[in-house]
């Protein structure tokens, strides 16, 4: 639970999408490489989550967070609840990243050097997402990095693992997932606004203010569906991808909840759940579109 596995779908699904595109475009599928990719991705994500808890303890953000706790905001609370010490949390995060790096290097050796650069960007930006001196999330870069790593690079990396090439189709297919995973991070910053502000953790929601920040959430949702429409029109996404438009009501519900309850952490839980469900649903539709 310290790794916050409730968010692992955001790395599993883009890897499956990249694999599905490889099958669609080149009729290749290597189950072993997919398994290694999934393990490397999950260990990376888990390590980043644990290290984020450690560094949010150091900067005081999680200790200052007195909002009603939910499974989605305020970190895992393992340090605050005395389940792990700060040192144990840091070591656990390091160990998980070490496992991810070992698996990544095996894939680099087996499939090609391109994966090294993708992996280096992911591990470096993931570690310094919250680690000083860069603390990239505190500089307002969090959403961009999450969209890059859990959207674009995850899909392209999984596609490369299967085909040993890169693809414009894989890039275009990754853009909706990049927008939606950024939306997941973004809406989770609203319940943490007060603590982040006190800890000088200047996320986008802190920089914009929660009332003004609501508009960017709408932009991320609209961007994701526009990418699907343009992808189909440009013949990079299969026609069945348009079935993802059936999930638009989830986005509308999340937007309505955010606008009505942006300053009420517990009341935001349905909007956070709908955003995660939106990402999952759109991802599955795109995967099925390419497989079948």
DSSP conformation letters of 24-64: HHH----HHHHHHHHHHHHHHHHHHHHHHHHHHHHTTHHHH
Domain count, the chain: 1
Sign of torsion, CA 17 184 86 126? positive
pLDDT at residue 15, rounded to an integer? 98
- Asked if residues 203 and 142 have their Cβ atoms less than 8 Å apart, the reply is yes
Distance CA 32, CA 30 (A): 6
H/E segment holding residue 90:
helix 86-111
Half-sphere exposure of 135 (CA within 13 A, CB side): 17
The model's pLDDT over 58-116, given as tens digits with 9 standing for 90+, comes to: 887 666 666 655 666 666 778 888 899 999 999 999 999 999 999 999 999 999 999 99
Sign of torsion, CA 183 191 81 202? positive
Mean per-residue pLDDT, 280-289? 98
Output the pTM of the full model: 0.94
H/E segment holding residue 270:
helix 269-291
Distance CA 264, CA 153 (A): 34
The model's pLDDT over 159-215, given as tens digits with 9 standing for 90+, comes to: 999 999 999 999 999 999 999 999 999 999 999 898 888 888 899 999 999 999 999
Residue 106 domain boundaries: 5-291
The model's pLDDT over 30-64, given as tens digits with 9 standing for 90+, comes to: 999 999 999 999 999 999 999 999 998 888 766 66
Report, in angstroms and rounded to the nearest whole number, the Rg of the chain calculated over CA atoms: 18
Distance CA 63, CA 80 (A): 7
Question: 122: closest CA among 110, 109, 108, 111?
Answer: 108
């Amino acid at each position: 639970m310290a790794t916050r596995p409730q968010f692992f779908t955001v790395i599993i699904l883009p890897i499956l999408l990249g694999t599905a595109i490889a099958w669609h475009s080149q009729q290749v599928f290597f189950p072993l490489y997919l398994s290694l990719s999934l393990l490397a991705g999950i260990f990376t994500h888990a390590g980043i989550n644990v290290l984020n808890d450690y560094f949010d303890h150091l900067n005081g953000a999680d200790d200052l967070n007195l909002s009603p706790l939910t499974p989605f905001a305020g970190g895992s609370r393992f340090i605050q609840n005395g389940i792990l010490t700060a040192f144990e949390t840091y070591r656990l995060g390091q160990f998980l990243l070490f496992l991810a790096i070992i698996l990544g290097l095996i894939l680099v050796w087996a499939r090609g050097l391109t994966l090294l650069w993708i992996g280096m960007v992911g591990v470096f930006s993931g570690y310094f997402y919250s680690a000083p001196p860069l603390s990239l999330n505190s500089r307002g870069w969090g959403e961009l990095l999450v969209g890059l790593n859990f959207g674009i690079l995850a899909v392209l990396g999984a596609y490369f693992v299967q085909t040993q090439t890169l693809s414009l189709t894989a890039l275009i297919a990754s853009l909706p997932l990049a927008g939606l995973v950024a939306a997941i991070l973004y809406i989770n910053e609203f319940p943490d606004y007060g603590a982040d502000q006190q800890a000088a953790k200047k996320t986008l929601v802190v920089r914009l203010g929660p009332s003004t920040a609501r508009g960017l959430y709408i932009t991320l949702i609209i961007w994701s569906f526009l990418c699907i429409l343009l992808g189909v029109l440009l013949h990079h996404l299969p026609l069945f991808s348009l079935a993802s438009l059936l999930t638009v009501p989830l986005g509308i519900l999340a937007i309505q909840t955010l606008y009505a309850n942006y300053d009420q952490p517990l009341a935001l839980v349905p909007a956070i759940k709908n955003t995660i469900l939106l990402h999952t649903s759109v991802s599955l539709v795109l995967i099925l579109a390419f497989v079948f």
